[in-house]
Amino acid sequence: MDFFDNIFTNIYAWLAFWLHELLMGWNLPKDVESALVSAIMIILVIIVIILWMVLMVLILIWLERKNAARIQDRVGPNRVGPWGLLQPVADTIKMLIKEDILPENADRFVHTIAPMIVMMPPVLMFAVIPWGKGMVPVDLNIGVLWIIAVASIGTIGVFLGGYGSNNKYSLLGGMRAVAQMVSYEIPQVLTIVPIVLMVGSMSLVKINEAQSGWFGMQWFVFAFPVGTIAFVVYYLSALAEVGRTPFDIPEGESEIVAGYMTEYSGMKWALFYLAEYFNFFIVCVIGATLFLGGWNGPILPGYVWLVAKTYALVLLGMWIRMTWPRFRVDQLMNFAWKVLVPIALVNIVLAGVALPIFKMIGF
């Protein structure tokens, strides 16, 4: 099993070594050579991560359409490729050759830059995730805080999308989306504090290692009650933060058409759509990393465990989406401020008091 567990780290080491050998022939100075090798390796890793991300999201889109169809007693996409697997690819190509409509009096610059800003945060979060043993592209000391900070950039892009469209529905949708995202960011960020408390570090690698005991089953979700409560609060606020269906007020078709995306078409719309699924996928990955032990697990290689856990959370999210009716705006805000925030705060106090007591009785 070690072979499969280390296969990607070994490929990395082998490629770096090979590059090193290749550059030996050029008789470069020692430091220039090693800098060149690490630069090339960084670019390679980043490209692999981005490709991985796109692949995951294409699968996610296919899975969601198939799943939605099953729950609604339909068949779903089944024409393009086996089981309709190539449907997302066909959609991408279709989107690429669609007309890009800019409504009159709309702000061209803002209208164009908004989808690009929205797409940036989830991509930057992908870089700090430990995908397996020793498979972390960038191990930051402030890992968790980095994710939180980067996630907060997306709100401004959503607002710009609404503002730049010169459409009443767009602007209203953008404003509502921002209000919702910031409201749910509070419980989401608060609920990670107990995890940092238990580990004593914000590095995602350290958080993963702290969950590796008991044959990889010492996950924080089992650290009853603190970890369990934290996980539930995290998952609900994450679903709301990315605007999945029970919480999709900003895009509620029956009220404000498609919210901030109303006036978008073609590739710009595709970028918004892609960002939405990137976000959904990445919050599930983070949930799996922080609460479900990340790549820890018995027998199977680490990366398989992480992907399996992520897809478990993804399927749960899809199930919730398909079976729950949409909240009203006031219910949504109340749920964040009056239910999730107090629970998260009490949870922090609980963790802060329980941890020293556990330590005193030698647990």
b/e burial code for range 24-63 (CB count within 10 A of at least 16 → b) = eeeeeeeeebeeebeeeeeeebeeebeeebeebbbbbbbb
Distance, CA of 178 to CA of 259 (rounded, Å) = 11
Rg (CA), the chain: 22
Least gap, CB of 304 to another protein (angstroms):
24
Residues 6+ away with beta carbon under 8 Å from 249: 176, 177, 180, 243, 255, 326, 327, 328, 329, 332
Least gap, CB of 296 to another protein (angstroms):
21
CA distances from residue 309 to 32, 212, 291, 293 in whole angstroms, order as listed: 42, 15, 10, 9
Question: Would you say 157 or 294 has its CB closer to another protein?
Answer: 157
Residues 6+ away with beta carbon under 8 Å from 4: 301
CB atoms within 10 A of CB 316: 14
Q: What is the DSSP letter of 328?
A: P
Question: Would you say 272 or 295 has its CB closer to another protein?
Answer: 272
Question: Would you say 67 or 92 has its CB closer to another protein?
Answer: 92
Residues 6+ away with beta carbon under 8 Å from 335: 240, 327
Question: Would you say 80 or 148 has its CB closer to another protein?
Answer: 148
